[in-house]
Amino acid sequence: MNIAIVGSTGAVGQELRQLLHERSFPVTGVRFFSSPRSAGKQVDFGGTSVTVEALPEDGNLGAELVFSSAGGSVAKAHARAWAEHGALVVDNTSAWRMDPNTPLVVPEVNADAIDTHAGIIANPNCSTILALMALAPLHRAFGLTRATVATYQAVSGAGAKGLDELTRMTRAALDGTPAEPEVFEHSVAFNLFSHDSDVGEDGYNVEERKLLLESRKILGVPDLAVSATCVRVPTYRAHAEAIHAAFERPVSDDEARAVLASAPGVTLVDDRAGNRFPMPLDASGQDNVLVGRIREDASLPGGIALFLAGDQIRKGAALNAVQIAEAWLERGRPGGR
Ligand SMILES: NC(=O)c1ccc[n+]([C@@H]2O[C@H](COP(=O)([O-])OP(=O)(O)OC[C@H]3O[C@@H](n4cnc5c(N)ncnc54)[C@H](OP(=O)(O)O)[C@@H]3O)[C@@H](O)[C@H]2O)c1
């Protein structure tokens, strides 16, 4: 299969290149695209050097499968044209997620939605994917009615430049030299702050709204209640989330643990005696989402509290996108591409 990665030099693009090789995706040809800034640069694909190109004007990427990972404005402007040239577009950005004709897919949760695509399949927001890896199996077993979520989001959620900013600001703070933040509004060194997305009139920011709207769409529960507080923290990689969830009936912690123990893509890390629970450093580079601290919620009778950590560049973005493409192949390439 001829594939293209748009945004191939970014944090997600780099992970996509690695994963396609690692998972022996059936690749016969690759084309890697970036902004004109990186065009001409050499990047690695399974030990082979490939020249990065600027996007062609005519929208023909010469690929049957396009991984789109260059930001929402690029996807909004071009993804339809890439699809019209015959490609299936798996889009990592927020551009098409809430479009009624575009399936929004976490393969462990709603792989069958792939069959309804019209050229574009959207990869959900990273915090939403990680939350649903735990909440969807619980929903299937007990009927999720509401969730309160607090996120602890790594700087790489803002791309490769977020990583550089944490290093630069931390080094400056340790050296006692002045440094101005460039990527985030506030210093990320030894600090944390409300997620760097716009706050709406209701007081929720864009990231928090994604958790509500995308969860409803993926689970197919239009009246699901989700209240999120999204926070940027000074970790390089892997987001963590504290979740409090209520269901159609009271759920015990043993019942919840049993469901999560057999959930695909989930690893239980729930060692009360050893005080070992999910951590971003353990989740970094892992495919599975780590879930633990499973307990009956003392403030929400019948509800469950838990804590998770997951690699948001991997399962929250690149891995989920590759899994969508794999599921599309396994399902016989629905959509005629
Ligand atoms: N990072 C995460 O954890 C994460 C998780 C889920 C979803 N996402 C989404 O995935 C997308 C990419 O994120 P990222 O973290 O990989 O960002 P990034 O590290 O900033 O990389 C952005 C990539 O897009 C390319 N690009 C920028 N403008 C372009 C243009 N006009 N035309 C073509 N290519 C262009 C960049 O090329 P240059 O090298 O030339 O600048 C680079 O390859 C975003 O929509 C983001 O919201 C990210």
Say which CATH number the domain at 138 has: 3.30.360.10
DSSP category for residue 169: H
Q: Is the beta carbon of 317 within 6 A of some atom in ligand 1? A: yes
Structural domain includes residue 36:
yes
Statement to judge: residues 152 and 272 lie in one domain: yes
DSSP category for residue 38: T
Count Cβ atoms below 10 Å from residue 37 Cβ, excluding itself: 10
Q: Is the beta carbon of 303 within 6 A of some atom in ligand 1? A: no
Statement to judge: residues 284 and 171 lie in one domain: yes
Q: Is the beta carbon of 323 within 6 A of some atom in ligand 1? A: no
Statement to judge: residues 181 and 146 lie in one domain: yes
Is it the case that residue 70 has pLDDT exceeding 90? yes
Statement to judge: residues 170 and 297 lie in one domain: yes
Structural domain includes residue 151:
yes
Quick one: how many helices (H) and strands (E) in the chain?
9, 15
Residues 52-58 have a mean pLDDT of 96
Statement to judge: residues 135 and 119 lie in one domain: no
Which amino acid, one-letter code, is at 131? Answer: A
Statement to judge: residues 69 and 182 lie in one domain: no
Structural domain includes residue 107:
yes
Confidence band of 116 (pLDDT split at 50, 70, 90):
very high
pTM above 0.95, yes or no: yes
Statement to judge: residues 29 and 152 lie in one domain: no
Structural domain includes residue 335:
no
The CA 9 to ligand 1 mean position distance, Å, reads 8
* Closest-CA residue to 27 (of 73, 74, 66): 66
Statement to judge: residues 86 and 158 lie in one domain: no
**CATH number of the domain within which 41 lies:** 3.40.50.720
Structural domain includes residue 195:
yes
Is it the case that residue 337 has pLDDT exceeding 90? no
User: For 133-183, what is each residue's pLDDT tens digit?
Assistant: 999 999 999 999 999 999 999 999 999 999 999 999 999 999 999 999 999
**Domain that includes residue 265, residue range:** 128-312
* Closest-CA residue to 138 (of 318, 270, 291): 291
What are the phi and psi torsion angles at 34 (to 5°)? Answer: -150, -170
Statement to judge: residues 107 and 59 lie in one domain: yes
Beta strand spans in 168-259 (E): 193-194, 225-232, 239-247
| Catalytic residue selected from 78, 117, 195, 239 | 239
Q: Is the beta carbon of 268 within 6 A of some atom in ligand 1? A: no
Statement to judge: residues 102 and 149 lie in one domain: no
- Between CA 304 and CA 12, with CA 270 as vertex, the angle to 5 degrees is 90
DSSP category for residue 233: -
Structural domain includes residue 137:
yes
Which residue from 34, 91, 105 has its CB within 8 A of the most atoms of ligand 1, so it is best to mutate?
34
Statement to judge: residues 103 and 160 lie in one domain: no
Q: For residue 335, what pLDDT is reported?
A: 86
Structural domain includes residue 178:
yes
Q: Describe the strand order of the beta sheet including 289-296 as a list of residue ranges.
A: 193-194, 225-232, 144-153, 239-247, 304-310, 289-296, 266-268
Is it the case that residue 336 has pLDDT exceeding 90? no
Question: Is 260 within 8 Å of 247 (Cβ atoms)?
Answer: no
**114: its two tokens:** 């792939």
**84: its two tokens:** 């019209």
Structural domain includes residue 337:
no
Q: For residue 66, what pLDDT is reported?
A: 98
Q: Is the beta carbon of 11 within 6 A of some atom in ligand 1? A: yes
Phi-psi region at 232: left, alpha or beta (left = phi > 0; alpha = psi -120 to 50): beta
Which amino acid, one-letter code, is at 12? Answer: V
230 is a catalytic site residue? no
Statement to judge: residues 216 and 289 lie in one domain: yes
Q: How many domains does the chain have?
A: 2
The CA 325 to ligand 1 mean position distance, Å, reads 19
